[in-house]
Amino acid sequence: MQRYQTEVLPVNPLYPEPTVIERAAELIRQGEVVVFPTETVYGLGADAFQPAALERIFAAKGRPYSDPLIVHIADEESLRLLTPAVSAQAKRLAEAFWPGPLTLILPRGPRVPDLITAGLQTVAVRMPRHPVALALIRAAATPIAAPSANRFMHVSPTTAQHAFGDLAGRVPLILDGGPSEVGVESTVLDLGSPVPTILRPGGISLESLRAVLPTVQPPRRREATGEATQAEMEAQRVPMHSPGQMLIHYAPAVPLLLFEGAPEAMRAAMLNEAKQRQARGERVGVLVADEDVTTFQESDILVHSLGNAGAPEQIAASLFAAMRALEAADVHVILCRSFDERGLGLAIRDRLLKAAGGKTFHSA
C-alpha cells in the first residue's frame, strides 16, 4: 500500500473555496483518492472511471473487492454515463430526494468498471447535497465513487478527525468541512427487484419514500437478529465473513450491548449491568438520551447523551461520534439504549443492531 503524508485542508462547508476544491479535484483527475464531506458521512472518493484509482479506495480502507461502491454525481445528466435506462420510478425518486441521502440501485451501463459493481449487473448512484461534495464532483468533471471514509468494519466517520484517525498515511488529502449533518449513511433502495426494497435504511426514511412511491418495502429482517443470552453478551464478538451483507459492520472497536424495553426498565437494566461490570474492574460507557442522564450520574460510568430521544435527527447526527468517543476513552464495553423505529429511527436501530452483532438485551 502506498504511504502518504496526509494533509487536512479546511474548507467552507457552505461556500467551498474554489482553490481548495481545485486542489482536491486535481488529485481525483490524477487517479488519486481524496476524503471529502457529504451530508451523511465522510466519503473516500476516486474517479469512477479510473480502475487504478478505484483500487486505491479498496487498499486504503482494507475493503474486500466483493463490496460494491456508490457512485456520486452532481447532475442528473451524468446518469447517462452509468445506466442505460432511467425508469419512471427512478425519475420520480430522484426528483423528490436528490440532491440528498438516497442511493438508487439501477441497471449498470457498459462503461461502469467491475470494481464499482463487484461484478453485479447493477450500479448504486446518489447525488449528495453537501456543497463541498457537489463542487468537487463538478470540478473533477467525473462521477466520484466513494464508500464511507473509515477502515473496513469500523464506524463511518462524521468528522474529518474521524477519517484522519482511520486513514492517516493512507490517503493524500482530507477536506475538513466540519461535522456531517445527517450522521448516518444514505438509504440504499433497490429498484431492480419486482417491488422497490430498502437494502440499507438511512438518511431518507421509509415513510418519506412511501409518500412518493407507496410500494416501497422495508429492509428484510436479518435472521441472526434476536435476544442475546447473558453468555453471548459477554462473549467477544467474532467477525462474520459474508461480504456486503455483514451483520457486524459499522462496529466500534469495543463490544456494544443494546438494551430494549420501556425507558424505566431499560435504564435500570443498564445501570445494573454497568455496576456489575465495574465491580469486576471494567470501564463502562453508556449511550443514552438526555432524559436518561441523571440515572447514571454520581458513578464512574462514562455517560454520553445522544440528544433528545424524541428527536431522531439529533440521535443520528451524534451516534457515530459518540461511539468513537467512548472507544477513544478506552472503555471495555458500551451499553446503549434503543430508540423508536419511526422515521430516521429505523436507520439508527439498524446501525445499533449491527454494532451489537444483531443481538439485543430485553429488560422487562
Residues of this chain that interact with ligand TXA (CB under 6 A) are 38, 40-41, 43, 67-70, 101, 103, 105, 117, 120, 122-124, 128, 146-148, 185-186, 188, 199-200, 244
CB 325 within 8 A of CB 305: no
Residue 161: phi and psi, rounded to 5, are -65, -40
Q: Which of the listed partners (ligand TXA, Mg ion, none) does 158 bind, with a CB threshold of 5 to 8 Å by partner kind? A: none
Residue 280 carries which DSSP code? T
149 vs 291: CA distance, rounded Å: 32
Pairing assessment for the beta strands 144-145 and 122-126 based on DSSP bridges: unpaired
CB 276 within 8 A of CB 361: no
CB 160 within 8 A of CB 174: yes
Please give the single-letter amino acid code of residue 346: L
3-state secondary structure 304-317: EECCCCCCHHHHHH
Residue closer to Mg ion (CB basis): 148 or 363: 148
Residue closer to ligand TXA (CB basis): 34 or 123: 123
Pairing assessment for the beta strands 34-36 and 43-47 based on DSSP bridges: antiparallel
**Least separation in angstroms between CB 144 and ligand TXA:** 10
**Least separation in angstroms between CB 344 and Mg ion:** 18
Given the rule CB under 5 A, which residues bind Mg ion? 148
**Least separation in angstroms between CB 230 and ligand TXA:** 31
**Least separation in angstroms between CB 153 and ligand TXA:** 11
72 vs 199: CA distance, rounded Å: 18
Residues 6 or more apart whose Cβ sits within 8 Å of residue 29: 47, 140, 141, 142
**Least separation in angstroms between CB 149 and ligand TXA:** 7
Residue closer to ligand TXA (CB basis): 65 or 308: 65
347 vs 251: CA distance, rounded Å: 14
Q: Which of the listed partners (Mg ion, ligand TXA, none) does 38 bind, with a CB threshold of 5 to 8 Å by partner kind? A: ligand TXA
Residue closer to ligand TXA (CB basis): 138 or 283: 138
Task: Retrieve residue 339's grid coordinates.
Answer: 430508540
For the chain, the farthest-separated pair of C-alpha atoms sits apart, in whole angstroms, at: 62
251 vs 12: CA distance, rounded Å: 30
**Least separation in angstroms between CB 326 and ligand TXA:** 22
Residue closer to ligand TXA (CB basis): 183 or 357: 183
**Least separation in angstroms between CB 170 and ligand TXA:** 16
**Least separation in angstroms between CB 69 and Mg ion:** 10
Closest by Cα among 319, 335, 231, 324 to 283:
335
Residue closer to ligand TXA (CB basis): 128 or 143: 128
Residue closer to Mg ion (CB basis): 68 or 177: 68
229 vs 362: CA distance, rounded Å: 10
Residue closer to ligand TXA (CB basis): 250 or 259: 250
